């Protein structure tokens, strides 16, 4: 196992050197332009770029205030749970976009033809706090996110031909990043679940996940980029709950079980749904590799959050009155639940062009280059 982790670290180091070379030649940001017509994003706070800013519920998680965004252009908080970009932003950059497409709720699709045409380049529907299950959280559920996509597609179809719309959808990349909140919610109700309880929960979660994928497929999606759940048992928040400060094994077991089940599901769907292509990006493997080899990958702190309070800075969210670190690029975690700009950059690189340890059965670059 130690040798395997070490090999993963060397693989990540090789990718980072490649990234530095591209950056020095000034081609990193636009070399891949035109890989896909659009990116459509669904998920939770790992992918949200501001949808929750528009929600009025006080219970909804938001990040549109300092110190979030301190390293974003103009140092402005956007609703991303990060000091800068999140993983979706970096994946979009690899695909030739400036960053993630705009949040759905920032668009007025009822009035502006410009906004509709912007939807042809992609939309981000992700909502912090949401999950795969309708019962998870108080934000925009995955089902509602897909309904919003249906509205976008209908408006696009009304302005161009149905054939042209279907062609765009079939060539676009549909990214799904969700599941962690469902696991946290289950754990909150059952912190010592039996094996049968864990199996039953994972099965119900995967059934819902399958339903969402099939709904998107029926709406024209053919290329799916799935981001698996990171090792949430080792997040600063989770460590703060453990009297010994270690990872919470139950959360880790649930995460690994769900990730494996999704791998099997997507493999099966690739045979049963004609034309479906997919890649599963393993944020779990990336974060685990960084935690095991921090110094080699440029990190000094992989347990505590940069911004927060309490034990591991993980007992509260990053708020305007929170303390935050000066050397943010040395931290794996920005807040109690989310990675830093630096960690997201590495994760996106590994998922986009890394080896099978980080994206399988093919990486995202191979997925978008594949001719359906």
Phi/psi for 236 (5° steps) reads -55, -40
Interatomic CA distance for residues 210 and 119, integer angstroms: 25
Q: Give the list of residues 6+ apart from residue 231 with CB closer than 8 angstroms, or none.
A: 247, 252, 255, 284, 287, 288, 291
Rounded distance, CA 42 to CA 40, Å? Answer: 7
DSSP 85-144: --HHHHHHHHTT-SSSPPBGGG--TTT-HHHHHHHTTEEE---TT--SSTTS-SS--HHH
- Contact yes or no for 94/359 (Cβ under 8 A): no
SS3 301: strand
CA 339 to chain centre: 11
CB atoms near residue 17 (< 10 Å): 10
Are 323 and 309 in contact, with CB atoms under 8 Å apart? yes
Cα distance between residue 235 and residue 291, in whole Å: 11
Q: How far apart are CA 363 and CA 96, in angstroms?
A: 16
State the Cα–Cα distance between residues 187 and 198, nearest whole angstrom. 10
Q: H/E element holding 242?
A: none
Say whether 39 sits in a helix, a strand or coil: strand
**Positions marked active-site:** 45, 335, 338
Q: How far is CA 157 from CA 12, 161, 213, in A?
A: 42, 6, 21
Q: Which residue has the tokens 């990540």?
A: 12
Contacts of 205 (CB under 8 A, 6+ apart): 132, 133, 179, 182, 258, 261
């Amino acid at each position: 196992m130690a040798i395997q982790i070490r090999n993963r670290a060397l693989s990540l180091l090789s990718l980072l050197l490649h990234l530095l070379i591209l950056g020095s030649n000034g081609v990193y940001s636009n070399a891949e332009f035109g890989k896909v017509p659009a990116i459509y994003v669904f998920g939770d706070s790992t992918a949200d770029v501001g949808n929750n800013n528009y929600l009025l519920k006080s219970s909804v998680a938001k990040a549109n205030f300092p110190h979030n965004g301190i390293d974003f252009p103009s140092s402005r908080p956007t609703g991303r749970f990060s000091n800068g970009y999140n993983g979706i932003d970096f994946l979009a950059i690899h695909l030739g976009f400036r960053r993630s497409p705009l949040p759905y709720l920032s668009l007025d699709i009822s009035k502006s033809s410009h906004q509709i045409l912007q939807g042809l380049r992609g939309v981000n529907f992700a909502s912090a706090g949401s999950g795969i299950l309708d019962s998870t959280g108080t934000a925009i559920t995955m089902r509602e996110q897909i309904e919003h996509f249906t509205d976008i597609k209908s408006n696009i179809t009304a302005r161009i031909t149905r054939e042209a719309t279907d062609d765009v959808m079939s060539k676009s990349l549909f990214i799904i990043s969700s599941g962690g909140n469902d696991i946290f919610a289950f754990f909150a109700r059952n912190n010592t679940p039996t094996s049968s309880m864990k199996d039953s929960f994972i099965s119900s979660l995967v059934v819902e996940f399958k339903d969402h994928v099939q709904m998107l497929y029926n709406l024209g999606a053919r290329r799916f980029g799935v981001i698996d759940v990171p090792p949430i048992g080792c997040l600063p928040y989770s460590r703060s709950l453990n009297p010994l400060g270690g990872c919470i094994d139950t959360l880790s077991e649930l995460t690994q079980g769900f990730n494996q089940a999704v791998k099997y599901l997507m493999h099966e769907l690739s045979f049963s749904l004609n034309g479906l292509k997919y890649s599963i990006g393993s944020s779990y493997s990336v974060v685990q590799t960084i935690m095991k080899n921090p110094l080699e990958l440029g990190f000094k702190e992989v347990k505590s959050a940069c911004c927060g309070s309490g034990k591991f800075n993980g007992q509260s969210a990053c708020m305007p009155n929170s303390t935050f670190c000066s050397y943010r690029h040395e931290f794996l975690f920005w807040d109690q639940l989310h990675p830093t700009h630096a960690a997201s950059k590495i994760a996106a690189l590994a998922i986009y062009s890394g080896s099978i340890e980080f994206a399988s059965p093919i990486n995202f670059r191979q997925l978008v280059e594949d001719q359906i």
